[in-house]
């Protein structure tokens, strides 16, 4: 009887582990590409991916732009056909299956003309620390569109796109004497957000840790989603 | 009798239930006040657009500062945009709540949509003609242009349905920025005027690669020989050059015609060869041009400061910048002897408000934007042309033009060439008819090219059936069967839908029955 109970308990535990945590976030449904397959796919080819929403950038006229990620890589899903109601459902962590075409705009690899369906399960990515890769663009680009972090960066300049709050903020941060371009993208984190205010208040010389999505525009141009002054 | 009066009062009180739910009360038409009341304080908002160019922002701020010195009782609050589309969307959102800006940079197509609301826009004819506060008026505290000192062609572009609803602010056209070095490297000689035939021939040749996929002309892995920034302009100008249909002045859609299809076939052929792409699909022409990855980049003359190896504004890293000779040319033509090109650029409109004095304050500021100092300073920031003859012919502006190439900032040669291109072709420019729906038609014209570009690149079948479906999809997506001409702000809406007729008849019937019942009760009681 004891043996039976032990087996039953073990089975219950295993079942509970697999059901409450959701399925393996790296697992793909049939007909869906792995991140490696997506990465290898030619530009302009059709792609089908499954990933978890990590950031919502914008919604306008039934088109949504979001960052999504699976444990292997990040995706920028540009102007996905999406109703206002469905956009509300796309909370951070939501699993989506996206069909579209792989494209590159000014170096930013994205899924263009996408459609999507919401899947079962949730997963939220932890930021990947890529500070050490900043000077190595060939390695850094492998993390394109992922939620990433940069530690111990020195603020060099903070400039509003229009000279005043309201639009994007261009941020220059340096590490080991080399300058890098960052941005607070107003569509992703608008003027009412904490990060917009916090970045606007940064002064040259401050040392910060930042998190954001590794966007690309003629080179790395991370879009900051949070900032912490550390020195 | 008391009961009758009570019922009548209730009925009167109920009337608003049937009327008030139809939205906020619209504004009364603007009536010109006798004079400007300088004892009162006015706060007006100005929504402006810049080309991601801080000098333009500084000019707006300086303009406001100078204007406020002249009119200390008017405060101008500036809100800046870098995109016409966002201004348009925000204005549309604010019309329903009557929180539109006072003065707004705009495109004529957008005004047509704004005008579908009653008295949302201020017709400017009375203001312009006013002897004291009108153009060149005697009571102005600044030296503004008289009506005949505004370039007539540019002013005419702001007239819709017989009235002016905007003043031109800046004008530009499109130019082709050419990497002459690569054209010659490919064995071609640039003609005096570009033709479509030439541009396609060179672009096809530039798409040649070696066995490793490296382009022969630049030795790089990337080369898009011909990139067009605005595909709506591309289609509109191609059609105009071929004297083919686009739309009538009354708003009839003529876009879907045989010439359009022929053009799309031609574009598809060159996309297939790797010779052509667009801003929307690939990126800014300037960035590819400056990196030696593009030979013909067509963009606004107002984008000239980004073009060329020595451009004052550069968006690519120094290590990717390539040295080459840049030439500014007219856009390619089908008939180079009779060139035609689009006229574009910002105009300024005024939104109506309850207080006519506030509107008059807005009008004073609008006119101030046309003074020489503002016109010349702003035009110098890009390949823009001032919209007044007064500014164009001024000594200061003529001196500016004469100094082309003196440096790579204010006198940047490419920018000056772009400016001169428009100055020498003002009579060859055109605009498309403005009507409610013309903004959608413009988008549709561009979408035809964008879709063909995408489909060819994606290996989809582009055949007769594809073209037919494309036309149907675009027609439906852009609701082109719902447009109508602008006619002084009022539109012929046609017959009421059947459901509305039935509803109105029912309401009328119920009211008749109520009145009959009340009358019957009254007669009955009176007879007692």
- Spatial separation of the C-alpha atoms in residues A226 and A189, rounded to whole Å: 10
Task: Kindly tell me the sign of the dihedral angle through the C-alpha atoms of A3, A8, A14, A20.
Answer: negative
Provide the pLDDT for residue B492: 36
Instruction: Pick the more confident residue, B353 or B505.
Output: B353
Q: Which residue of B has its CA nearest to A102?
A: B458
Query: How far B316 CA lies from chain A's nearest CA (Å)?
Result: 6
Distance CA B306, CA B298 (A): 12
Burial of A172 from C-beta contacts in 10 A (0-12 / 13-18 / 19+): middle
Q: What's CA B50's distance to the chain center, in Å?
A: 13
The alpha carbons of chain B give a radius of gyration, in whole angstroms, of 28
For chain B, percent of residues with pLDDT exceeding 70: 90
Confidence of residue A6 (pLDDT cuts 50, 70, 90): low
Which residues, including other chains, have CB under 8 Å from residue B63's CB and lie 6 or more apart? B368, B369, B374
B451: closest CA of chain A, how far (Å): 11
Q: Are residues B64 and B160 in the same domain?
A: yes
- Is the CB of residue B29 less than 8 Å from the CB of residue B119? yes
Residues B283, B289, B292: CA angle, nearest 5 degrees? 120
Any domain includes B126: yes
Q: How far is the alpha carbon of A7 from chain B, nearest alpha carbon, in Å?
A: 55
How far apart are the C-alpha atoms of B77 and B93, rounded to whole Å? 19
CA distance to partner chain A, nearest, from residue B183 (Å): 24
Chain A within 8 Å of B93 (Cβ-Cβ)?
A: no
How far is Cα B182 from Cα B294, in angstroms, rounded to an integer?
A: 9
User: Can you give B60-116 as a three-state secondary structure string?
Assistant: HHHHHHHHHHHCCCEEEEEEEECCHHHHHHHHHHHHCCCCCCCEEEECHHHHHHHCC
Q: Chain B within 8 Å of A105 (Cβ-Cβ)?
A: yes
Q: Which of A101, A104, A162 sits opposite B80 (nearest CB)?
A: A162
Please indicate if any CB of chain B lies within 8 Å of the CB of A160.
no
Tally of CA atoms within 13 A in the half-sphere of A181 that contains its CB? 16
B64 in a structural domain: yes
| A16 has a pLDDT exceeding 50 | no
Residue B495: how many CB atoms within 10 A of its CB?
Answer: 7
Q: Which of residues 58-87 of B touch A (CB under 8 A)?
A: 58, 61, 79-82
The percentage of chain A sitting over the pLDDT mark of 70, rounded to a whole number, equals 90
d(CA B99, CA B349): 15
Highest CATH level, class, for A22-122: mainly beta
Vertex A111 angle, CA A124 and A69, to 5°: 15
CATH number for B398: 3.40.190.10
In a shared domain, residues B68 and B150: yes
pLDDT for residue A163: 84
Local confidence band at A5 (pLDDT 50, 70, 90 cut-offs): low
Give yes or no: residues B270 and B254 share one domain. yes
Integer angstrom CA distances of residue B317 from A14, A154, B288, B309: 53, 21, 12, 12
Contact between B42 and B99 under an 8 Å Cβ cutoff? The reply is no
Nearest CA to B440 out of B489, B475, B469, B492 is that of B475
What confidence score (pLDDT) does residue B168 get? Answer: 97
Confidence of residue B488 (pLDDT cuts 50, 70, 90): very low
Q: Do B458 and A219 touch (CB under 8 A)?
A: no
Query: B281 CA to chain A: closest CA distance, Å?
Result: 6
Q: Does the pLDDT of residue A231 top 90, yes or no?
A: no
3-state secondary structure of A58: strand
Query: For residue B86, what are the CA distances in angstroms to A140, A166, B89, B159?
Result: 33, 13, 5, 23
**Does residue A101 belong to the interface with chain B, where contact is any CB pair within 8 Å?**
yes
Q: Which helix (H) or strand (E) holds B45?
A: strand B42-49
Q: Where are the domains of chain A?
A: 22-122, 128-229
Residue B240 pLDDT exceeds 90:
yes
- Residues composing chain A: 231
Q: Are strands B385-386 and B347-350 parallel, antiparallel or unpaired?
A: unpaired
Query: Does any CB of chain B come closer than 8 Å to the CB of residue A162?
Result: yes
May I ask the CATH architecture of the domain A128-229? Beta Barrel (2.40)
At B4 the pLDDT is 57
Helix axes B258-272, B231-241, angle to 10 degrees: 130
The C-alpha atoms of residue B420 and residue B425 are separated, in whole angstroms, by 8
Question: Do A44 and B320 make contact, defined as CB atoms within 8 angstroms?
Answer: no
* Pairwise CB contact (< 8 Å): A161 & B79: no
Q: What is the pLDDT of residues B451-464, one digit of tens each?
A: 999 999 999 999 99
Q: Are residues B60 and B113 in the same domain?
A: yes
Q: Is B54 on the interface with A (CB under 8 A)?
A: yes
Higher local confidence (pLDDT), B7 or B240 = B240
Predicted pLDDT at A12: 47
Q: What is the pLDDT of residues B108-130, one digit of tens each?
A: 889 989 998 889 999 999 999 99
> What is the mean pLDDT of the segment spanning A193-202?
98
Residues from chain B that touch A45, judged by Cβ atoms under 8 A, are 458-459
In whole angstroms, give the CA distance from residue B218 to residue B310.
19
Q: Which residues pair with B326 in a beta bridge?
A: B179
Range of the domain at B294: 174-342+428-484
Same domain, yes or no: B135 and B281:
no
- The single residue listed with the structure tokens 């582990």 is A17
How remote is the C-alpha of B34 from its chain's centroid? 33
Contact B458 A44 (CB under 8 A): yes
Same domain? B119 vs B144:
yes
Alpha-carbon distances of B322 from B190, B307, B317, B417, rounded to whole Å = 20, 12, 10, 21
Same domain, B246 and B312: yes
**Measured between alpha carbons, how far is residue B211 from residues B206, B208, B215, B216, B221 in Å?**
15, 10, 9, 10, 12
Chain B hits for A162, Cβ within 8 Å: 50, 57, 80, 82
Across the interface, which of B52, B89, B320 has its CB nearest the CB of A161?
A: B52
**B56 and B189 within one domain:** no
B212 pLDDT above the threshold of 60: yes
Residues B187 and B295 in one domain: yes
Q: Does A44 touch chain B (CB under 8 A)?
A: yes
Contact A166 B457 (CB under 8 A): no
Provide the pLDDT confidence category of residue B516 given band limits of 50, 70 and 90. Answer: confident
**Separation of alpha carbons B224 and B283, rounded Å:** 10
Domain check: are B164 and B219 in the same one?
Answer: no
B356 and B241 in a common domain: no
CA distance B398 to B385: 12
> A152 CB near a chain B CB, below 8 Å?
no
Measured between CB atoms, does A113 come within 8 Å of chain B?
yes
For residues B253 and B250, give the distance between their C-alpha atoms in angstroms, rounded to a whole number.
9
Examine the domain organization and report whether B234 and B283 are in the same domain: yes
Distances (CA, A) of A142 to A72, A73, A177: 10, 8, 24
* A167/B284 touch (CB, cutoff 8 Å), yes or no: no
SS3 call for A54:
strand
Q: How far apart are CA B83 and CA A28, in angstroms?
A: 40
Q: Give the confidence band of A10 by pLDDT, cuts at 50, 70, 90.
A: low
Alpha-carbon distance B265 to B448, whole Å?
A: 11
Confidence of residue B489 (pLDDT cuts 50, 70, 90): very low
Q: Higher confidence at residue A170 or residue A10? A: A170
Q: Please tell me the distance from the alpha carbon of residue A229 to that of residue A151, in angstroms, as a whole number.
A: 10
pLDDT over 70 (residue B356): yes
Q: E strand or H helix at A81, and its extent?
A: strand A73-81
CA distance B182 to B165: 46
B285: closest chain A residue by CA = A106
Task: Kindly identify which residue of chain B lies nearest to residue A167, measuring between CA atoms.
Answer: B81
Nearest chain B CA: its distance from A203 CA (Å):
21
Q: What is the pLDDT of chain A when averaged over all its residues? A: 92
Question: A167 CB near a chain B CB, below 8 Å?
Answer: yes
Interatomic CA distance for residues B393 and B382, integer angstroms: 18
Q: Do A106 and B287 touch (CB under 8 A)?
A: yes
Model-level ipTM above the cut of 0.90: no
Searching chain A, which residue's CA lies closest to the CA of residue B457?
Answer: A44
Token pair in block for residue B24: 């906020």
Residue B503, pLDDT above cutoff 70: no
Angle at B54 between CA A226 and CA B291, to 5 degrees: 80
Question: pLDDT value at position B500?
Answer: 52
Q: Which helix (H) or strand (E) holds B9?
A: helix B2-19
CB contacts, 8 Å: B82 with chain A: 161-162, 167
Is the CB of B287 inside 8 Å of chain A's CB atoms?
yes
Question: What is the phi/psi pair of residue B45, to 5°?
Answer: -110, 145
Nearest CA in chain A to B57: A162
- B321 Cβ under 8 Å from any chain A Cβ: no
B394 Cα distance to chain centroid: 27
Q: pLDDT value at position B52?
A: 79
How many structural domains does chain B have? Answer: 2
- Cβ contact, residue pair A163, B459, below 8 Å: no
* Residue whose tokens read 């049937």: B18
């Amino acid at each position: 009887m004891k043996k039976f109970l032990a087996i039953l308990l073990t089975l219950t535990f295993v079942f509970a582990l697999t059901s409450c945590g959701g399925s393996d976030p790296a697992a793909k449904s049939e007909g869906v590409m792995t991140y490696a397959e997506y990465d290898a796919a030619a530009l302009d080819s059709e792609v089908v991916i499954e990933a978890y929403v990590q950031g919502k950038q914008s919604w306008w006229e039934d088109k949504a732009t979001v960052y999504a990620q699976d444990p292997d890589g990040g995706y920028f899903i540009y102007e996905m056909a999406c109703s206002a109601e469905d956009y509300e459902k796309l909370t951070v962590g939501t699993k989506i299956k996206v069909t579209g075409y792989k494209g590159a705009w000014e170096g930013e690899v994205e899924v263009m003309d996408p459609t999507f369906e919401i899947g079962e399960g949730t997963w939220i990515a932890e930021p990947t620390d890529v500070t050490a890769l900043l000077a190595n663009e060939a390695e850094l680009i492998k993390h394109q569109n992922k939620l990433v972090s940069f530690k111990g960066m020195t603020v060099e300049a903070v400039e509003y796109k229009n000279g005043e709050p309201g639009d994007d903020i261009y941020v220059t941060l340096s590490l080991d004497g080399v300058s890098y371009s960052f941005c607070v993208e107003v569509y992703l984190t608008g003027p009412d957000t904490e990060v917009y205010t916090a970045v606007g208040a940064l002064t040259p010389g401050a040392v910060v840790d930042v998190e954001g999505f590794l966007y690309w525009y003629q080179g790395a141009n991370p879009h900051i989603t949070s900032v912490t002054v550390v020195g | 009798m008391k009961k009758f009066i009570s019922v009548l009062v209730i009925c009167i009180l109920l009337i608003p239930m049937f009327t008030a739910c139809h939205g906020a009360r619209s504004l009364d038409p603007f009536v010109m006040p006798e004079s400007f009341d300088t004892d009162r304080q006015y706060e007006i908002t100005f929504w402006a657009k810049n080309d991601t160019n801080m000098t333009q922002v500084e000019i707006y701020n300086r303009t406001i500062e100078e204007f406020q010195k002249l009119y200390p009782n008017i405060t101008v609050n500036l809100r800046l945009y870098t995109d016409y589309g966002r201004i348009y969307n925000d204005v549309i959102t604010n019309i329903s709540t009557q929180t539109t800006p006072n003065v707004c940079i705009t495109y004529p197509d957008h005004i047509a949509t704004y005008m579908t609301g009653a008295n949302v826009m201020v017709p400017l004819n009375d203001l312009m003609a006013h002897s004291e506060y009108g153009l060149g008026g005697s009571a102005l505290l600044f030296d503004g242009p008289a009506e005949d000192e505004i370039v007539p062609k540019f002013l005419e572009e702001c007239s819709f349905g017989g009235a002016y609803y905007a003043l031109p602010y800046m004008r530009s056209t499109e130019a082709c920025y050419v990497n002459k070095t690569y054209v010659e490297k490919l064995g071609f000689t640039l003609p005096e005027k570009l033709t479509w035939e030439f541009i396609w021939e060179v672009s096809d040749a530039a798409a040649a690669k070696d066995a490793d996929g490296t382009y022969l002309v630049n030795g790089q892995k990337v080369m898009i020989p011909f990139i067009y920034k605005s595909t709506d302009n591309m289609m509109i100008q191609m059609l105009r050059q071929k004297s083919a249909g686009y739309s009538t002045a009354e708003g009839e859609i003529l876009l879907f015609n045989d010439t359009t299809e022929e053009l799309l076939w031609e574009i598809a052929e060159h996309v297939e060869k790797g010779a052509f792409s667009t801003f929307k699909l690939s990126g800014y022409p300037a960035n590819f041009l400056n990196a030696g990855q593009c030979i013909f980049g067509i963009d606004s003359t107002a984008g000239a400061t980004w073009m060329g190896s020595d451009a004052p504004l550069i968006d690519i890293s120094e290590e990717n910048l390539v040295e080459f000779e840049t030439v500014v040319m007219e856009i390619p033509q089908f008939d180079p002897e009779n060139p035609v090109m689009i006229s574009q650029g910002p105009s300024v409109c005024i939104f109506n408000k309850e207080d006519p004095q506030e509107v008059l304050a807005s009008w004073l500021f609008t006119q101030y934007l046309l003074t020489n100092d503002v016109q010349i300073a702003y035009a110098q920031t890009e390949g823009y042309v001032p919209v007044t003859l007064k500014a164009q012919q001024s000594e200061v502006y003529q001196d500016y033009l004469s100094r082309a190439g003196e440096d790579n900032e204010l006198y940047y040669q490419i920018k000056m060439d772009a400016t001169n291109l428009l100055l020498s072709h003002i009579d060859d420019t055109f605009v498309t008819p403005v009507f409610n729906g013309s903004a959608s038609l413009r988008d549709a014209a561009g979408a035809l090219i964008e879709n063909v570009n995408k489909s060819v690149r994606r290996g989809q079948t582009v055949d007769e059936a594809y073209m037919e479906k494309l036309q149907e999809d675009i027609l439906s997506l852009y609701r082109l069967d719902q447009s109508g001409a602008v006619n002084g702000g009022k539109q012929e809406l046609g017959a009421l839908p059947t459901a509305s007729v039935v509803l109105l008849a029912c309401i009328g019937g119920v009211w008749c029955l109520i009145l009959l019942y009340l009358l019957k009760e009254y007669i009955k009681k009176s007879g007692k």
